[in-house]
Amino acid sequence: METADAKIADGGDKIIGNFPCLVLRKVNKSVMQSSVFPFAHTYNTSDGENIFNKHNQHALTSGMRMGQILVNRLQVRNDPQVTHFTRQPHGKIDRRILSQLGMDIESVFKRTTVDTYKPVLIHLSLDASGSMGGKKFSKCITVATAMAYVASKISNIDVVITLRGDSTIPVVAVVYDSRVDNFQKVRSLFPSFYAHGSTPEGLCFKATMDLITEAQGKYDMYFINFSDGEPGSSVRHKGEYKNYSGKLAEDHTRRQVHMMREAGVKILSYFITDVPMYKHNLSRIAFKNMYGEDASFVNVENVTDVLRTMNKLLLSKGA
């Protein structure tokens, strides 16, 4: 617990009551091998190969490839943009047109502006519940790897990646933070991740609200969520189980999303699916209730569209 910089935070509020949530601020191999970390699997095939490692290793390789493409496109963020304005009524004298004074030309000054991109901090929150297992989770690992790679190469982009799910209580684990971790951590840990448990959604958001908003003012902050369903979890608290699901959980999650917006965090929330979207009608309604206009619906086969969205986002002057 000390190694993981772990704490028990309250994920509830005045309306739904107290819900304890375990927050792991630091994750390494020893933490992953402990009972406090529910997102690593040791199941092996008959030939001794970890099946989750095999799938995620492919996702990791794809993510690094996508990350390099993004870095090439985003490299401009590292360079200041210098613009010269000539023939201005005031400023510094432009020696190149100084000789034109006296020929009814008085605007012989110039101004120079230097534009730089404001630093961006992206919180990438991955739903690691059991229903995300398989192709959906592998695709999310690909996107997470790509964004971690970008943060390792572009000086004014930082990325924090968390997994969320539960065991007996909700668990949020910070598995990568570009402000303190190098990319080797991604290579080392990500292949062993797998999806486990249920979906405590808003409980995890509330428990890590201080982490999400801690850089307020220093960065343009984005919270990017990947999820595949409605919130639902059974939390053991003081020897009793408390249910977190349905409209109660949806509304609680919506309140946490609103708190982020109030703190200046921009939200992008992606509903990840691997079946035709019409089969998710009820979940779509719940998702829109929680995330409003920030909700997007993405087929897992096209999840790389998310990367194109992030490319556009990070090159906008608002970022």
Distance CA 282, CA 82 (A): 51
Q: How far is CA 108 from the centre of its chain?
A: 49
CA angle 259, 260, 265 (to 5 degrees): 150
Q: If you average pLDDT over residues 228-241, what whole number do you get?
A: 82
Q: How many residues does the chain have?
A: 319
Specify the residue for token string 């053991």. Answer: 236
pLDDT tens-digit series, residues 136-195: 899 899 999 999 999 999 988 999 999 999 988 999 999 999 999 999 999 999 999 989
pTM of the model: 0.84
Residue 147's identity, in one-letter code, is M
pLDDT tens-digit series, residues 179-225: 999 999 999 999 999 898 899 999 999 999 999 998 888 898 999 99
Residues 6+ apart with CB under 8 A from 61: none
Q: For the chain, what is the mean pLDDT? A: 83
Distance CA 21, CA 172 (A): 8
pLDDT at position 36, please? 86
Q: DSSP 3-state assignment of 210?
A: helix
Q: Partners of 105 in the beta sheet?
A: 101
Say if residues 11 and 200 touch (Cβ distance below 8 Å). Answer: yes
Count the neighbouring beta carbons within 10 Å of the beta carbon of residue 213. Answer: 18
How far is the CA of 186 from the CAs of 44, 261, 284, in angstroms? 21, 29, 32
